Structure 1
Amino acid sequence: MTDELLVVRSQLGERDAFADLVRAWHDPLTNYVRRMLGAGRSDDVVQEVWLAVVRGLPRLRDPVRFPPWLFSIARRAVTNRLRDEYARPELGAEVEGVGPDIDDAVLDRAAVVASVGALPVREREVVVLFYLLDLSLESCAEICGIPVGTVKSRLSRGRRMLRDEFTQKGFAR
């Protein structure tokens, strides 16, 4: 069943359709929020997003636009959370240890995740939306509220920053 049909059925009050919509989009939404905030801080934000979706779904006029609409809500929630956290005094960075018995592939993946997480928020956002969630440039632009050209420049800058960091860390190209 298509997302558009699930949205329309959800707007008509069918709970099963909304449950199917949540099942289809929960993992991509959680991945986006987790990439933007980190694993420990994402669960509450994801719940806030779904609550906003429940409240706002009846007002969504174009069901085809559900994915950009969903990620726009998520973007606002992430921005609000980051704004709140930046306003609080810093207590120290959280560091997760990696055991020596972990496979090189896991270490490489951890390095990529850490590197993406270290990007400035604007670049991180478009890198996550475009590469990790596989959204189009146009959808990324709509979600971020910026022109497609700006998305392209942020992607380019993000790729360059990642390449420079990997080069510094000694990873082969």
Structure 2
Amino acid sequence: MTDELLVVRAQLGERAALAELLARWRVPVWTYVRRMLDADRADDVTQEVWLAVVRGLPRLREPGRFAPWLFTIARRSVTDRLRGEYARPEEAWEVDEEVTEDPVEAMVDRAALVSVLAALPAPEREILVLFYLEDLPVEECAHICRIPAGTVKSRLNRARRLLREQLEEKGHRP
């Protein structure tokens, strides 16, 4: 069953269709949010995303555009969280020295990539995550980020260059 059909059925009040959408998109949404934030904040923001989806689904006019709509909500939620934290005075920031051990990320190469990805500026990191890790086309990345497709392409170029430079600095060959 397609996402579009599930959205229409969920809009008509079918709880099973909503549960199926959640099951299909739970991991991709959490993964996107997690790549933009740390694990603790990712859980909270992901819950906010799903609340916004449940509230907004009846008003979604183009059920076939569910994925870009969903990632737009996720992006807005991440941005709101970051904006709220950056607005606090610097001395109020909490520094979390403890790193949650993820068995998958325990591999050295992946850990290095994750740390380098986290060090990229948010706009470039976001485009890399959407384009490469979420497999969204340039046009959908542009729609989600509310920027022109040309800007997506230039951010991808810059992000790839920054990623390559940082990996080389850490002794990895891209």
Query: Is residue 111 of structure 2 the alignment partner of residue 110 of structure 1?
Result: yes
For residues 37-116 of structure 1, what are the structure 2 equivalents within 5 Å? 37-90=37-90, 91=93, 93-96=95-98, 106-116=107-117
> Aligned partner of 1:83: which letter?
R
> Aligned partner of 2:12: which letter?
L
- Report the Cα distance in structure 1 between the residues aligned to 2:141 and 2:85, rounded to whole angstroms: 24
User: Structure 1 residues 80 and 105, CA, compared in 2 at 3 Å: closer, same or farther?
Assistant: closer
Identity rate of aligned residues, in percent? 64
Consecutive unaligned residues of structure 2, counting only runs of 5 or more, are none
Q: Which residue does the alignment assign to 1:171?
A: 172
- Report the Cα distance in structure 2 between the residues aligned to 1:115 and 1:40, rounded to whole angstroms: 20
TM-score by length of 2: 0.92
Q: Which residue does the alignment assign to 1:24?
A: 24
User: Structure 1 residues 27 and 97, CA, compared in 2 at 3 Å: closer, same or farther?
Assistant: closer
Consecutive unaligned residues of structure 1, counting only runs of 5 or more, are none
TM-superposed CA distance for 1:65, in Å, is: 0.7
TM-superposed CA distance for 1:127, in Å, is: 0.4
TM-score by length of 1: 0.92
- Report the Cα distance in structure 2 between the residues aligned to 1:95 and 1:161, rounded to whole angstroms: 25
- 4+ runs deviating over 3 angstroms: 89-93, 95-99
Between the two proteins, the alignment pairs up a number of residues equal to 171
